[in-house]
Amino acid sequence: MSDDMDALVLLLAGGIGSRLNILVGHRAKPAVPFGGLYRIIDFALSNVMNSDLTRVGVLTQYKPLSLMRHIGTGAAWDFTGRTRGVKILPPRTGEKDSDWYRGTADAIRQNIDFILANPSDQVVILSGDHIYHMDFDAMIQYHRHKDADVTIGMMVVPKSEIHQFGAGIVDAENRIIDWEEKPKIPRTNLASMGIYVFDTKYLLRVLSRDKQEIDFGMHIIPRGIEEDRVFAYPFYGYWRDVGTIQSYWQTNMDVIRPGSGITPEKWGIRPNPEADGRPMDRAPARFMSGCTVQASMVSAGSIIEGTVINSVLSPGVEVRKGAVVRDSVIFEDSTIEEGATVDLSICDKRVHIGSGTVVGQGENLQHANHEYPEHLYTGITLIGKKARLPSGMTIGRNCIVRPGYAGSDVSVVADGESL
pLDDT, tens digit (0-9, with 9 covering 90-100), for 157-194 = 888 888 888 899 999 999 999 998 888 888 899 999 98
Among 384, 396, 52, 43, residue whose Cα is nearest residue 241:
43
Confidence of residue 2 (pLDDT cuts 50, 70, 90): very low
Distance CA 119, CA 123 (A): 10
pLDDT at 359 over 90: yes
pLDDT at 4 over 80: no
Q: What percent of the chain has pLDDT over 90?
A: 71
CATH of 284-419, one of 3.40.50.2300, 3.30.40.10, 2.160.10.10, 3.30.565.10: 2.160.10.10
Question: What is the pLDDT averaged over residues 123-127?
Answer: 94
**DSSP of 239-290, one letter per residue?**
EEE--SHHHHHHHHHHHHSTTSS--TTTTT----TTTTSS-S--SPPEE-TT
Confidence of residue 1 (pLDDT cuts 50, 70, 90): very low
* pLDDT digit string, tens, across residues 290-300: 999 999 999 99
Question: What is the pLDDT averaged over residues 326-346?
Answer: 98
* pLDDT digit string, tens, across residues 130-153: 999 999 999 999 999 999 999 999
Fold (topology level) of 3-256: Spore Coat Polysaccharide Biosynthesis Protein SpsA; Chain A (3.90.550)
- Pairing mode, strands 150-156 and 190-199: antiparallel
Question: What is the pLDDT averaged over residues 267-274?
Answer: 90
Residues belonging to the chain: 419
The answer to whether the beta carbons of residues 361 and 379 sit under 8 Å apart is: no
pLDDT at residue 280 in the model: 55
* Lowest mean pLDDT, pick from 153-167, 254-268, 270-284: 270-284
Does the reported pTM lie above 0.85? yes
| Residue 207 φ/ψ, nearest 5 degrees | -70, -30
The answer to whether the beta carbons of residues 175 and 231 sit under 8 Å apart is: yes
Distance CA 286, CA 226 (A): 60
Domain ranges in the chain are: 3-256, 284-419
Question: What is the pLDDT averaged over residues 5-12?
Answer: 88
